[in-house]
Each structure stands twice: as structure tokens, then as C-alpha cells.
Chain A
Amino acid sequence: MTTTLHSNDQSLALAIEPDAGKRKLSTAKAIQEAISQRMARDESVFVMGEDVGPYGGIFSSTTGLIDRFGPERVLDTPISESAFIGLGIGAAVEGMRPIVELMFADFFGVCMDQIYNHMAKIHYESGGNVRVPMVLMTAAGGGYSDGAQHSQCLWGTFAHLPGMKVVVPSNPYDAKGLMAAAIESDDPVVFMFHKGIMGLGWMAKNKRSIGAVPEGEYFVPIGKARVAREGTDVTIVTVSLSVHHSLDVAERLEPEGISVEVIDLRSLVPLDREAIVRSVSKTGRLIVVDEDYQSFGLSGEVIAAVAEHDPTLLKRVSRVCVPDVPIPYARELEYAVLPTPARIEAAVRDAMAT
């Protein structure tokens, strides 16, 4: 099946979610490939951010791009997020398609006015006349002792504010297709990759961060969840690295006769409420696993999506999130607050006991 994600250029007809094939990539390489292929096709696409050039992005999201496209299209910026995100917005409203990397999502504080008052609102405030086709790419998540200012997910914070799509891939295949779709979107897209899914040698080993990726271009539609694993007893709704942990738990519990369905949301905005309701209609038990802070975020929104549809669907509901504390630096303390496989497994067993 082919389609176009925006209608003003019919030459962009690309496959939607084709067969993965056999070639494997890490998530980092899949993101690089998506950007590279879009840059080769469309001169208006360019990359900007701190250490995105020769260094290749501190989490390897832009490795090799400067060698292929040069410093005019892969721009290393000074450490001034407010300035270069503003520059990206200006380029976008003039018709370019910038991919701007905010090195850590945690750094949004110094540039939030550009993000939520300008990037996210220009389309609305111009009465629909001005589009902002920009990708704000940023690293999220913890688990490697980087402290309270470098370990947050914060996708719920971005998703809370209207005007931005928020994309959170979990694997190489989705990361490539979602990045292509994000670049092609005429709306601003916040593309948040967890460092633990990138397949980097210096992070904790994660077999699911390496996977089959088609060599050609394709889109993964933004706003469509994926059933990562089918099951009948309990629904886990989650994103990003927690998808991998949830799948590990589901595999471990299968021999005991516990059948866990894992829904990978893939994006928070738009949120695929239908996919959530469809799964909970089948299982009646819902666990939301989210590495973001528990209160006022994704987990509450997912539960509300079911409760507003039909509260009687819920026999049992719980969440495994970061309690509302800063992410600790000390390894033992950090792993005490993260949604670890052990916490997820305990939640599943608890749900099955009732």
C-alpha cells in the first residue's frame, strides 16, 4: 500500500509499513538512514544542533550525515538552545524542513518559549496560514547514572501542550519510518528517542535495539499504535524502552500460562485511544508502564481513555511509572524508581491475582 502523508507533492508516494526484510540495523543507524534518505530526496531538509556534525550526535542520531551532505546542511550550533530552535522555526515557516536536535529532553527549560509558544502555536495563531514543518529530535530516558537533569523522559510534558505531535519509537523499524513521517509532516513533531533503544555500545545491552529494517524509504503513520505482542489476560500499554521490558516479562510469564498483550503506542500525540480500548475490551486488565513521572502524565491519560469510553471494561488497572521524584544518580536508587522488568512482573502478577 502506498500513500502520501501530505498532499502537495505527489512524488512522495511511499510504502506504509512494508515487510521488514532481513537486513538488521541499530535504532541509531535506522534514524540516520531515514534522515539521510530524506535529505537526498529533498534539499529543504537539513539538520542542526549541538554536536550533530563531526561528532555525529552524542547518541549517534546523526553519525555520517556531515560527510555526505556537508556543513551547510548539517550545522553544529553554539550552546544556545533558544537561539537555534528559534532559527529552526524561522527556517520552517519559510518552507524548509529542519531537524533540530535538542541534546537532552531535560534541556527544554531554557528554550520552552520557542517550543510551545512559537513552534507549536504559529499554525494556530496564523489562522492556519503558516505551517511549521519542523522536527525537534531529542534524547530521553535514564538507566545509566546520568543524574536528575539528564535522565528524564518528559514526553508527557510535551504531549500536554497542544500543537505538537509527539513521537516515541521503541525499535529500529519504527524509528526509521516514524522519522521519515515526522520530516514529511507539515506539523511540528517532537521525536523523542530513549537512549536505551539506540543500540549504543556504551549503554546497557538491549537485543531489541537491533532489528530488521527495510533498505528503501517508507512511512510508519504517526498516531497508530502497534500490538507488539498479542495476549488475552492482561494489557500492558507502554512506549519506548519499557516496550522491551514488557515484552521480556511477557515472554517470561508465558510458560506459567499468563498471556500478556503489549501495546506499543509509538506516539503520544496523536494518542491511539482506539487501540487501547480494543485491547482492554479483550483482557479487562490494564497496566500502564511509563518511564515518565507518574502524576499528570501519559499513564493517567491512557486510563482515562478507557474510563471515558466504558469504565465497566476495567476489572483491574494499575501503573508502573517513575514515582514523582527526581531521577537519582546512584545506581541502586535510580533502579528503584525506574519501571524495571521486576516491577512490571510484580504488577502483572498482582493484576492476575484479582
Chain B
Amino acid sequence: MTDVLFPVISEAEDATGVIVTWFVESGDKVTPATLIAEVAMDKVDAEVYPETSGVITLVVEEEKEVPQGTVIAQVT
């Protein structure tokens, strides 16, 4: 199992961001080429791709604010 983290965008350690869009649902098969989410911090958007292939489970809901580095999904 590998964790998918909210990307570290800011130099401020306690910076938080939101998941703008989940492009996949729990149970979907993903690969490192699958765009799984778009996240935003301040006005900077970032795309999230998993590091490994497998079945994804989403951990954090859309629009929820979390600190960068938080586990937002898991791939098994």
C-alpha cells in the first residue's frame, strides 16, 4: 500500500490547501499516468498523480482544507 500525499507547495511548513477536484472514485484502478486530483493552495493549482499502480481509496473529501503533506488517498 502506498500513500498519496497532498503535494508540498509552500515553504511554510504549516501551509494548508484544498482538494479542488477528485477525478477518480474509491475503487478505481489507477496508474502513475492517471490524473487523480487537482489541488489548490492560495491561487496555485497542482495536479496529483499516484506513484504506484493499483486500486485507489480516497481518504480526504473534496473541498476539505488540509495541511500539505497530509495523506489524501491510498493505493493498494
Contact = CB atoms under 8 A, between A and B. Distances in A.
Contact of A201 (B20, B24, B34, B35): B20
B21 A26 contact: yes
B63 A26 contact: no
Interface string B16-49: 0010110110001000001100101001010000
B38 A201 contact: yes
Q: Give the interface residue-count category, chain A.
A: 10 to 19
Nearest to A200: B20
A183 to B, nearest CB: 23
A201 B45 contact: yes
A74 to B, nearest CB: 18
B38 to A, nearest CB: 7
B7 to A, nearest CB: 14
A25 B35 contact: yes
A68 interface: no
Contacts of B38: 26, 201
Interface of B: 18, 20-21, 23-24, 28, 34-35, 38, 40, 43, 45, 63
14 contacts: A22-B28, A23-B23, A23-B35, A24-B23, A26-B21, A60-B45, A63-B45, A199-B21, A201-B20, A201-B40, A201-B45, A202-B43, A205-B63, A210-B23
Top 9 closest A-B pairs, CB basis?
A201-B20, A24-B23, A201-B40, A210-B21, A199-B21, A26-B21, A201-B45, A210-B23, A25-B23
